[in-house]
Amino acid sequence: MASRVSLKAKGKSSKGSKATEERSASEYLKEWTTWTMRKAKVITHYGFIPLVIIIGMNSDPKPPLSQLLSPV
C-alpha cells in the first residue's frame, strides 16, 4: 500500500488564526487603553492647577492673580 499524501496546509489553521485575531484585538485594546490612561494622567497632573486658577479668575468677584495664588 502506498502512503497517502496529506493536503493539510502547514502553519496556522483557520481555527488558530481566529483565536490569534481575537487575541491580537484584545492586545491592541489593552495597549490603546494603557496609552490613553498614561496620557490622561499627565494631562491631569499638569492641567489641574491651571484649570483651577482660570476658573477662579473667571468667577464673579474677579480676584487678582496674587490673591488666587496665595495660600491664605
Tens of pLDDT, residue by residue over 16-62, are 555 555 678 889 999 999 999 999 999 999 999 899 888 888 888 88
What's the pTM? 0.48
Domain membership of residue 37 (yes or no) is: yes
Q: In total, how many domains does the chain have?
A: 1
Give the span between the Cα atoms of 12 and 23, in whole angstroms.
14
Domain membership of residue 8 (yes or no) is: no
- 53: how many CB neighbours lie within 10 A of its CB? 13
Domain membership of residue 33 (yes or no) is: yes
Give strand ranges (E) for the chain.
Answer: none
Domain membership of residue 6 (yes or no) is: no
Specify the pLDDT at position 48: 93
CA dihedral 61, 65, 67, 70 (to 10 degrees): 150
Cell numbers for 27 = 492586545
Which domain, by its residues, includes 23? 19-69
Domain membership of residue 13 (yes or no) is: no
